Amino acid sequence: MDNFKLCAFADEAGADVQNQIKALKENGISFLEVRGVGGKNISELTVQQALELKNKLKDYGITIWSVGSPIGKISIKDDFAPHLDLFKHILEIAHTAETSCIRLFSFFIPAGENAEVFKDEVMERLSKLCEAAKGSGVSLCHENEKGIYGDIATRCLEIHKQIPELHAVFDPANFIQCKQNTFEAWNLLSPYVKYMHIKDSKPDGTVVPAGQGAGNIPEILKKFKAQGGEVLTLEPHLKVFSGLDKLEQGHERSVMDQDAYPTQRAAFDAAVKALRNIIE
């Protein structure tokens, strides 16, 4: 299963951009899914700062594959107008960075409430995001995530059938943490998957290196490869790192072994090694 293009959330190796570059280069990874930059979320950068980042990465032979945006990580009951404005700014950043994709989500559903009640509002918001991106050359990619409308495969499928221009990012660990079998999810969503997030989990939600959990990652990667899939983004989550509390909402937390790795970089390297053991 060689010839995959490896990408990573390098902010899991370190907050500083230079440390991210070092981790990518030393692990032989040429693509970045940019999310945290110097302790800031990518959405907080100015367009000029995004240009400077792109040029710096280019000097090291690194390309920004995707913008790991926070779009859609608000409650479905929150005001959408300022969020749409933020998305338009992120779209400018993506254009400046010459990136292929923007990762987004389908809005948190209030705890204890029926997600289907909010289906029309979710679809309307996602459609507005797609309309704003129309003609930009940037693909919008929905990631399955705990607590959002598209947390399980059947609701993800509803999204992609109703909004076919919206691609899928397939995250095995997130499905496991929603008690969703990953083979079932893949069989439903494979036609829509543009790329994958490589994160594995045990059935109890504990995040582990790829191939050590219940994500069926080796088998799903074979299926992804067979349909022409290329890009894999490592999102290890093997150790709590700076900014994780901002990436997951409230009580929704990944269960992690705090003592598994002594440093962010060690956890990042372990995640790369586990993936390479599968694909090489």
Question: Would you state the pLDDT for residue 95?
Answer: 97
Beta bridge partners of 168: 142, 193
What is the residue range of 195's domain? Answer: 5-279
Cβ atoms of 270 and 264 closer than 8 Å: no
Taking the C-alpha atoms of residue 212 and residue 210, their distance in angstroms, rounded to an integer, is 6
Question: Would you state the pLDDT for residue 270?
Answer: 95
Question: Would you state the pLDDT for residue 3?
Answer: 87
Cβ atoms of 129 and 89 closer than 8 Å: no
Q: Give this prediction's pTM.
A: 0.92
Task: For 11-23, write each residue's pLDDT tens digit.
Answer: 999 999 999 999 9
Residues lower than pLDDT 70 in the chain: 1, 239-259
Question: Would you state the pLDDT for residue 77?
Answer: 98
Strands 5-8 and 31-34 turn out to be: parallel
Task: For 202-216, write each residue's pLDDT tens digit.
Answer: 999 999 999 999 999
Where in the chain does DSSP place strands (E)?
Answer: 5-8, 31-34, 36-37, 40-41, 63-68, 101-104, 139-143, 167-170, 193-198, 200-201, 207-208, 231-234
In DSSP notation, 136-164 reads SSPEEEEEP-TTBGGGSHHHHHHHHHH-T
Question: Would you state the pLDDT for residue 78?
Answer: 98
Number of domains in the chain: 1
| Residue 269: CATH number of its domain | 3.20.20.150
Taking the C-alpha atoms of residue 150 and residue 167, their distance in angstroms, rounded to an integer, is 13
Cβ atoms of 23 and 14 closer than 8 Å: yes
Question: Would you state the pLDDT for residue 262?
Answer: 85
Question: Would you state the pLDDT for residue 221?
Answer: 98
Question: Would you state the pLDDT for residue 239?
Answer: 62
